[in-house]
Amino acid sequence: MNILDGKATAGKIKQRIAADLASLPEAVQRPQLAAVLVGHNGASETYVAAKVKACNEIGFGSKLIRFADNVSENELLACIQQLNEDNSVHGIIVQLPLPQHIDEQKVTMAVKVEKDVDGFHPENLGRLMLQLPGFVSATPKGILMLLEEYKIETSGKHCVVLGRSNIVGTPVSLLMSRNAFPGNSTVSLCHSKTKDLALLTKQADILIAALGRPQFVTAEMVKQGAVVIDVGITRVADTTTPKGYRIAGDVDFEKVAPKTSWITPVPGGVGAMTIAALMQNTYLAWQRITSSDATR
């Protein structure tokens, strides 16, 4: 068993960006990410704080715009419009989930395509499908960057994805099946209506678990020598920790790891790569906007 070290790989990616920026004259405007956070969802607070921290570490500017839970949809849309027009902002993210009374799709679609570093806008998702330049959402992109870093063979492999979310499962299925490296896998996208799930997971050369169900994947579900990517980051109650919770992945790491050839830990796996991929997207947005080059 070998560890796919997301923390170390993310560190290298962030260092490369920081070094690139450090070589620029001081007068050159740096990339800036604007993060919009609504309410006080604990997990969202943690994610956004980590994104802002990464910006500070590598020399990006950052703006954190907070709204109360009861913010109106119009107020939120007006804020996004302002950020779209702000020339000092190159990337915009609206942390999901949003409160029930706000139409998430409407908000996602309000973000200017060129600044949509989360890749959630329908145009960027269409671009991903057609392999046109655009923004690939951070978690799927981070997973592929990790496979690339460790030169994991994906061509001709059976990749089984658990979960069909718009943010992870569906885009990562597309990326793993397209004609590229990483890619060229035969993909099975499994979800809550899949029958005999274990029969499929046991055939997986590469298993990507993105259900958000702690320790769902057990040793019996995994083939000897498989590559296992754990996307789960769920808070579970744990009174032995100072915070009263710990972060659990979708995979029972202790039991599954010995059967695998490669596996991501939680934390220090996909989560760290998501942040690095977001930084790379923000850097890309800045390059495209400041050089008016949409082909990058």
Catalytic residues: 51, 95, 118
The reply to whether 52 sits near ligand GUN by the rule CB under 6 A is no
Q: Does 94 bind ligand GUN (CB under 6 A)?
A: yes
Name which of residues 256 to 275 contact ligand GUN (CB under 6 A). Answer: 274
Distances (CA, A) of 262 to 8, 218, 253, 259: 15, 16, 11, 9
Q: Which residue is nearest to ligand GUN (CB)?
A: 96
Distance CA 213, CA 40 (A): 22
CB of 274 to ligand GUN, least distance (A): 6
CB of 137 to ligand GUN, least distance (A): 6
Q: Is there a contact between 222 and 209 (Cβ–Cβ < 8 Å)?
A: no
- Beta-bridged to residue 66, according to DSSP, are 37
Indicate whether 118 belongs to the interface with ligand GUN (CB under 6 A).
Answer: yes
- Of 210 and 217, which has the nearer Cβ to ligand GUN? 210
Among the candidate windows 74-82, 91-99, 151-159, 245-253, which touches ligand GUN by CB under 6 A? 91-99
Closest CA to 14 of 231, 273, 229, 233: 273
> Judged by CB under 6 A, which of 9, 95, 185, 234 binds ligand GUN?
95
> How wide is the angle at C-alpha 76 spanned by C-alphas 87 and 279, nearest 5°?
50
Q: Using the structure block, give the residue that is written with the tokens 């990749």.
A: 159
End-to-end Cα spacing for the chain = 37
Question: Which parts of 166-205 interact with ligand GUN (CB under 6 A)?
Answer: 167
* Binding of ligand GUN by 96 (CB under 6 A): yes
**Total binding residues for ligand GUN by CB under 6 A?**
9
Considering only the stretches 6-14, 23-31, 88-96, 234-242, report the one whose residues sit in contact with ligand GUN under the rule CB under 6 A: 88-96
Site membership for ligand GUN, residue 93 (CB under 6 A): yes
Q: Which of 9, 32, 139, 260 is the binder for ligand GUN (CB under 6 A)?
A: 139
Q: Quick check: helix, strand or coil at residue 22?
A: helix
Residues with Cβ within 8 Å of residue 232, at least 6 apart in sequence: 209, 210, 211, 212, 213, 214, 216, 248, 249, 250, 251, 266
Point out which residues bind ligand GUN (CB under 6 A): 93-96, 118, 138-139, 167, 274
